[in-house]
Structure formats: structure tokens, C-alpha cells
Amino acid sequence: MSPGNFRGNAVFVGDRSGRGGFASHQETMRRLLRTLLPFSAVAALAIAAAPAAAATAVSPARGFAPRQILVKFEGERHGRALGLAPGVGVRRAAEALNRNPRVVYAAPNYLATASVTPGPPFDPDDSGALEGAPEASSVAGGWAFKQWNFLAPEGDVSAGMPGSPGGIDAVDAWRNLMKAGRPGAAGVVVAVLDSGIAYRSRGPSFSRSPDFGPGQFVPGHDFVDRDSLPLDESGHGTHVAGTIGEKTDNGIGLTGLAYGAKLMPVRVLDRDGIGNALDIAKGIRFAVAHHAQVINMSFNFDCGNRVPLVDEALQDAYERGVVTVASVGNLGSESCVSAPATGPRVIGVGGTTEGGCLGNYSLAGTGVDIVAPGGGVPQSRCPSVAARPIYQVTLLPGSTRDFAIPANYVGTSMAAAHVSGVAAMVLATGSVNPVLSPAAQVRKVARLLRQTARDLGLPRVQQGAGLLDAAAATSVFPRFSRP
Ligand SMILES: [Ca+2]
Ligand SMILES: [Ca+2]
């Protein structure tokens, strides 16, 4: 999909119209930055004008991998990939195999695409800066003027912290985690199944994000290039990873929800944001085998495509106690809530806006369990026109070594990352009894997220249980000892 399509333009227009109301905030931010942010920190982020065509744009190519079929025969534990001879149609081969009574299923190796809605790539403002000095702990850092999604709805006047009607109150959640002795969800492992993460530097062409540290990662894998270096070539994965756990309280850039958690980069999407069912199923199994406790999946298959191989991997993840979270998909790139959000026990996440309304891109259906900030233009009945995107530090479009805080990341991709981050925080609070079976622990986390969500007064198919509330989800007692 090109950045000039309907949703891209809608995001662009909405973003600009949303700015009017934030002029004063931005002025304050600029003033704050002058005092808080050293020039070198800004330079390190290499914020520069970017070309109009964003590398984050999702390719229009859809469908399935050629000459391959995913099939499971009776008596087998999991399905597998079978090669097809040239000239054999994938769909016809699947139909023929499905007529065989010994075949449990046969399906094309469907492609999934990143669930971000592309828009204009450049954010003209300076970065936020989190308080790095102890004396600044009672002052809101510059981050708070960008990351509306992490603010409390009412703000905190005594602390000088602004509020935002669409915020999930990460501020109080961070406090709750410190009280629990697990700051930033320390000790939890979150797998990010995506386009990779800019998690380390390599040679002259790949750089680690200036807002990630080497200690924030556990080893991952690259199922696209089949190597052990899941480096991001798109920026989507680094953005998603940023929402989950961008380095926080380090004086530069922005913040992340579970900034104390370890991130596991699992690359299943290529530089165009496209992956296939086989690689995604392998990625899920890798994350489970390497003790991830949460798996984030910010991508979707086409509406109605069944992906049994992925569903099997998700079912195993559930039985092994791994919380799985997925975007429900965006109107335009998909037409209904689709896999993997519809998979077994997956928490399906829709997207909300700065004004606390449903995003005009967020798909409705029974697969919507909860909603979280995805930014962008709200549905028409929203009382607020605020339409800013989700800001994180990520790769400049087209680069694997230069970073920026772009203004074109909008969608249920971003929303899912919020739920994964808060799921990690919930696990860290110790409110899930470790005596429960692994599957019961997964159900408990999902239930806690739903029960503490804020009702937006929308139909259930649109909002699920409501808007994610990080503070409420992490203030639940009783607490059990460290899992
Ligand atoms: Ca690689
Ligand atoms: Ca930071």
C-alpha cells in the first residue's frame, strides 16, 4: 500500500488537524527541551527530513508463498511444509489434499502483513527527554509531551504531569512496579515477533537504537534470513519493541512500558513488513522454547485465511503458560478481525486515539478482547479531533543505522504492543499465582487486563472489555512470590 492511499492521507490530515490543540504543549516542550536535553542527545537521534515514501509502508503484495503447502496428516503432532512441483497450483493442491480423509488440514502458506497504517514519515518536533537527573524526578520530562498514550486520563497536577483522555496511565503503573520491587517488569521476557529490532550494531550498516541498551535483550532468531541476527530492516519491529520496553530514565529519546523486561527479537517479517505462516509458526515455537513469557504479534493474515500451523503453535504457547497478544488488523489492509488475533487464547487488540475514541482503522468483531492506543484519526462520533500517532524512537525510513521519532506509526500494531508491555508488567507484580497451571496463569493475565480496562461505552465488538489501564492492571492484590 502506498503512503498516498486513503488511510495514509487520513492519518496525515488528522495529524495536522490534531496539532492545533497541542500548540501550547509543544511550546512548553520546546522550552523544556532547551533546558533538559543537551544538543548531543538530539544529534545522536539523527532527526532529519525523510523522504515522502516511508519504508514502513506495507506492500500491496498479498497471498501465499509459491510452491508450498502446509499440511498435517492424521497421527502427526504438528503440520509441516511440503514443496509442490512447478505447475501444481497451491489452492488446487490444498483442495485435493483436503479431500483425503488422512489429511487433518492442508492450507497455503499464507502471508501476514504488519498492522501499521502508513502516513507521512517525518515528525518535525524534537524528541522528548526523560528526567536523567535525580533533582528532576518531580518534573515531567519532555517525553510526556509526545507520549500522550502513557499519561493518566486526569494527569497529576501536583507532579506537574499532564493528562490525556486516551492515556493508559503508565506513570502510575511504573510506580506500582517499583513498589513491587520489579521496576519496569524486571525479570520478564517478551518476544517481539516482527521485522526484527535494532538491538545491536553490526559493521558499518546496522546500528543499535540510541534508546536501547545491550542489556535489554536476550538472544533471538531471524526466520526470514535464517540466521541468528534478527536485525530490523523496516523500523516497524523497533517501534513496537520501543512501546514495550524502550530504555527509560536515560535522559534521551522516549520511554517504554516494561523497560526493565528483556526483549527477544524474533524476525518473521521482511523489510516490507510481510511474513508467512511457516516462519511465524516457527517464531512462536522458538519464543516458547526459549522461555518468553509474552509474545507480541503486530501483524495480520488476510481476512478469513485459516492458518492451522500458526494456531497449533499458539495452542502450545497457551498450554506452556505463554501470553500471546496480537493486533486485530486495520481497515483497509484487512477487512475483518483476522489471524493470529483470532487464534486460540490470543488477546486480540483494537486501536484507540488520543481523545480516547476508537481509531477509524480499528476492525470490529468477536476477536476484539481489549483496545489500547494506536493513535490516528478517531471514528466520526468522537468528541475529540486529537489524532496524533504513537511516538517511539525507531529507524529512519530506508535506513538500518539512522534513527528518528517518526509521526507515521498508527494502527493496531501499536495497540498490541501496549497490551504486551502491560501483560509483562502484570506478570512482574506477582498477582498471578504460580501454583496455577500454566494455562490458568495465561487466562488469569487476560482476565486481569479485561477486568481492569476502562469502559469507553462502545459496542463489545469494537472495544472488547474497554481501554487498557496499566495502572489498574498492576495494582491488583494479593501478590504472590516471584514466578
Ligand atoms: Ca539477519
Ligand atoms: Ca529513553
Distance between CA atoms of 277 and 287, rounded to whole angstroms? 15
Ligand index nearest the alpha carbon of residue 222: 1
The alpha carbon of 195 and the centre of ligand 1 are apart by a number of angstroms equal to 10
* Mean model confidence pLDDT for the chain: 83
**What is the three-class DSSP state of 465?**
coil
The answer for 262, left when phi > 0, alpha when psi is -120 to 50, beta otherwise, is beta
Decide if pLDDT at 15 tops 90: no
Cβ contact 301:308 at 8 Å: no
Decide if pLDDT at 207 tops 80: yes
The alpha carbon of 279 and the centre of ligand 1 are apart by a number of angstroms equal to 14
Cell of 459: 459496542
Distance between CA atoms of 351 and 464, rounded to whole angstroms? 11
Min mean pLDDT across 282-286, 380-384, 444-448, 458-462 is at 380-384
**Predicted local distance difference test score (pLDDT) of residue 65:** 86
Cell of 197: 529490532
The alpha carbon of 193 and the centre of ligand 1 are apart by a number of angstroms equal to 14
Residue 450's Cβ-side half-sphere holds a number of Cα atoms within 13 Å equal to 17
Decide if pLDDT at 47 tops 80: no
Decide if pLDDT at 234 tops 90: yes
Distance between CA atoms of 396 and 480, rounded to whole angstroms? 43
The alpha carbon of 395 and the centre of ligand 1 are apart by a number of angstroms equal to 16
Give the best-scoring range by mean pLDDT among 41-55, 80-94, 233-247: 233-247
**Predicted local distance difference test score (pLDDT) of residue 29:** 33
Decide if pLDDT at 412 tops 90: yes
The alpha carbon of 88 and the centre of ligand 2 are apart by a number of angstroms equal to 52
Model confidence band, residue 8 (pLDDT cutoffs 50, 70, 90)? very low
pLDDT digits (tens, 9 = 90+) for 114-140: 887 654 322 223 245 323 333 333 344
Distance between CA atoms of 154 and 381, rounded to whole angstroms? 22
Model confidence band, residue 9 (pLDDT cutoffs 50, 70, 90)? very low
Distance between CA atoms of 378 and 179, rounded to whole angstroms? 35
Min mean pLDDT across 134-138, 146-150, 328-332 is at 134-138
Q: Catalytic residues, which ones?
A: 194, 236, 413
Distance between CA atoms of 417 and 421, rounded to whole angstroms? 6
Of residues 465 and 111, the one with the higher pLDDT is: 465
**Predicted local distance difference test score (pLDDT) of residue 158:** 64
The alpha carbon of 224 and the centre of ligand 1 are apart by a number of angstroms equal to 7
pLDDT digits (tens, 9 = 90+) for 439-452: 999 999 999 999 99
**Predicted local distance difference test score (pLDDT) of residue 159:** 66
Single-letter residue type at 361: Y
The predicted model gives 318-347 an average pLDDT of 96
**Predicted local distance difference test score (pLDDT) of residue 131:** 33
Distance between CA atoms of 429 and 440, rounded to whole angstroms? 17
The predicted model gives 347-352 an average pLDDT of 98
Min mean pLDDT across 71-75, 293-297, 468-472 is at 71-75
Model confidence band, residue 66 (pLDDT cutoffs 50, 70, 90)? confident
Ligand index nearest the alpha carbon of residue 130: 2
Cβ contact 193:114 at 8 Å: no
Ligand index nearest the alpha carbon of residue 202: 1
Of residues 228 and 15, the one with the higher pLDDT is: 228
The predicted model gives 247-252 an average pLDDT of 88
Min mean pLDDT across 128-142, 146-160, 348-362 is at 128-142
Ligand index nearest the alpha carbon of residue 211: 2
Cβ contact 46:122 at 8 Å: no
**What is the three-class DSSP state of 186?**
coil
Architecture of domain 6-59+115-473: 3-Layer(aba) Sandwich (3.40)
DSSP per-residue codes, 231-261: --SSSHHHHHHHHHH---SSSSS---TTTTS
Helices (H) then strands (E): counts for the chain: 12, 14
Cell of 139: 518534573
pLDDT digits (tens, 9 = 90+) for 157-198: 666 678 899 999 998 899 899 889 999 999 999 999 999 999
Crossing angle of helices 308-319 and 277-289, rounded to 10°: 10
- The DSSP output letter for 335 is S
Min mean pLDDT across 258-272, 279-293, 469-483 is at 469-483
